[in-house]
Amino acid sequence: MKEQKQSAGDWLNALTIMGRILISVPIIVSLLSILLSLFGANPVNDESVFTGSTMIFFCGVATLVYVAIKRFQQGLRGEGRTDERKTGVET
């Protein structure tokens, strides 16, 4: 039973990392596109970069909102972190 709870936590951690990546990558790509356009060397169409980046960004936000809701539900059920995981000391 304990393994099942740990795997659910791992699943939420993986979704959190994926959401952070989905948010950060479009921001980095957009900043690079803006920097390239300032220097006059922009090989891609600006509209296509920003449209795709916006969609990926909102997918990342939706993923992080989903994880936040699931963690809130776990907290209400009392399935949150135990004292052992918070402090690293067995009791």
Q: Provide the domain limits for residue 74.
A: 10-78
Cβ atoms 61, 23 nearer than 8 A: yes
Write down the pTM of the prediction: 0.71
Cβ atoms 67, 19 nearer than 8 A: yes
CA atoms of 82 and 26, how far apart (whole Å): 36
Count of domains in the chain?
A: 1
Identify whether 62 is part of a domain: yes
Structure tokens at 30: 């957009």
When pLDDT is cut at 50, 70 and 90, the band that residue 71 belongs to is very high
Identify whether 25 is part of a domain: yes
Identify whether 43 is part of a domain: yes
Q: Enumerate helices (H) and strands (E) in the chain, giving the number of each.
A: 3, 0
Q: Which amino acid is at 43?
A: P
Tell me which of 80 and 40 has the higher pLDDT.
40
Identify whether 23 is part of a domain: yes
The pLDDT value recorded for residue 77 is 87
Q: By C-alpha distance, which of 52, 63, 69 is closest to 21?
A: 63
Mean pLDDT over 79-87 rounds to 57
What mean pLDDT is reported for the chain? 80
